[in-house]
Amino acid sequence: MKKNIKQVNGNSSKEVNAMTKKVGVAILGLGVVGGGTYQTLTKHREYYLKTQNVDITVEAVLVRNKEKAVAQGVPAEILTDNIAEVIANPAVDIVVETIGGVDAAKDYVLAALREGKAVVTANKELVCKYSHELERVAKRTGCGIYYEASCVGGVPIIRTLLDGVQANRVQEMMGIINGTTNYILTKMSQEGADYADALKDAQKLGYAEADPTNDVEGFDALYKLSILSSLAFHTKVPYTKIYREGISKIDSKDIAYGKSLGYTLKLLAIGKNTEKGIEVRVHPTFVPNAHPLASVNDSFNAVYLKGDAVGDIMLYGRGAGAFPTASAVVSDVIYAATHAEVKYSTFKNTATADSSVKFVSDFESAYYVRLAVDDEAGVLAKMSGIFGKYGISLVAVSQITQKKEPDDEGILRVPLVIITHKTTETQIKNAMTKINASGMGKVQAAIRVES
């Protein structure tokens, strides 16, 4: 007979076989991610028993509509609409939060942690805004809080930062970390669709919500970048320190002009740890066609890292969806079930940044600038002179077409596209203000370029 031992998870305990650890899970919410998590856990129970030596059972599922859950194959006896029942259930060791939003999710997660239950969450906004509160409670009860699924879906970026590249000082990260915007920009690039039509298509396919603001204006990527840059640079990077710009004002002609010059447009989340300080920003960005991120299309995501020892690394995969995200959720469940030691942040996790940390706001970047200029001799020299006056050198100047187009004031002018060398935000803004006041042309678009 195999000897029984007591396994402890936070404040809860149970008798388990000495060779196999038994772990009970509660799932809060049975939407896309919750449903995928339930199916993955139940389908692969024997596989995890065989490969991970852990027997994971779903002991409770919190739902509003029990009939719908039963229709999805969930046994009625484990369904509840009462969070107190879930928290009080002694068979539950790990609580998986997939309900989304912030208010209720925060209350439920805190209640689970206070009761001594480990928590796994896919909620990026919750982790971004309140990880300091959650971690403070988790430390008091000795519980773990795991959030791999909060960033980049099924791509194991958080585990990589925590357990894969810790030998390095991560100097830089650039990522396509929102599938909705990547799908829209891919459609605009490959099919020449305008933004409105590409958005409607994304909504029809379920990639974009009826109100797409969170995705297309960069909030989703901003929350994720806050989490990832904090982990990568070992210091708190609040989302309030991140520059944000969405894709809703992108014109398909700029994507086409950029393509003709050898660039691909992506919404990038960028974090750099420089001598001047930490630089964090989310915005549309041109990258050279040869860059690994340029070939990441449709709803796929990717994160490009640079470490001082390892050099360049890129992780690529599905950034959303029931089963890719469930993959990350269940990975955290298994990790929590098989690791007795709990790790917390490697930095002082507070609501605000440490006062000693400097953040760069006047960051440097190359620029793609599209001008509408008068079709007259000497205009190009005058435009170049304005850039030169503000210390901006030019990489390329191209008159893409001779066809005149109306600028934002309805004046017929010819388009002129300029690619600059690296310059500061202050310098480029001053130059564009001067051009707009010159009477010879107007700035129609300005998009940052990363190499």
Q: Considering the chain, what is the average pLDDT of its residues? A: 94
- What backbone torsions phi and psi does residue 442 show, to the nearest 5 degrees? -135, 145
Please give the CATH superfamily to which domain 364-449 belongs. Answer: ACT domain (3.30.70.260)
Which CATH number applies to 159-318: 3.30.70.20, 3.30.360.10, 3.90.1150.10, 3.40.50.970?
A: 3.30.360.10
> Residue range 60-89: average pLDDT?
97
Rounded Cα distance, 449 and 243, in Å:
15
CB-based contact 113:355 (threshold 8 Å): no
Q: Residues 121-180: pLDDT tens digits? A: 999 999 999 999 999 999 999 999 999 999 999 999 999 999 999 999 999 999 999 999
Give the pLDDT confidence score for residue 126 in this predicted structure.
Answer: 98
Give the chain's end-to-end CA distance (angstroms, integer): 63
What are the residue ranges spanned by the domains of the chain?
4-150, 159-318, 364-449
Q: Residues 372-403: pLDDT tens digits? A: 999 888 899 999 999 999 999 999 999 877 78
Verify whether residue 224 is a known catalytic residue.
Answer: yes
pLDDT at residue 423 above 60? yes
Amino acid identity of 289?
A: N
Give the pLDDT confidence score for residue 433 in this predicted structure.
Answer: 98
Rounded Cα distance, 233 and 230, in Å:
6
CB contact set of 259 (below 8 Å; sequence gap of 6+):
189, 289
CATH tag, 4-150: 3.40.50.720
Rounded Cα distance, 405 and 342, in Å:
61
CA dihedral 317, 319, 324, 327 (to 10 degrees): 90
pLDDT at residue 434 above 50? yes
**Catalytic residue (choose from 21, 224, 272, 442):** 224
Domain 159-318 identical in fold to domain 364-449? no
Tell me the CA distances in angstroms from 35 to 24, 227, 323, 415, one per residue in order: 17, 25, 9, 51
Rounded Cα distance, 127 and 100, in Å:
11
CB-based contact 59:41 (threshold 8 Å): no
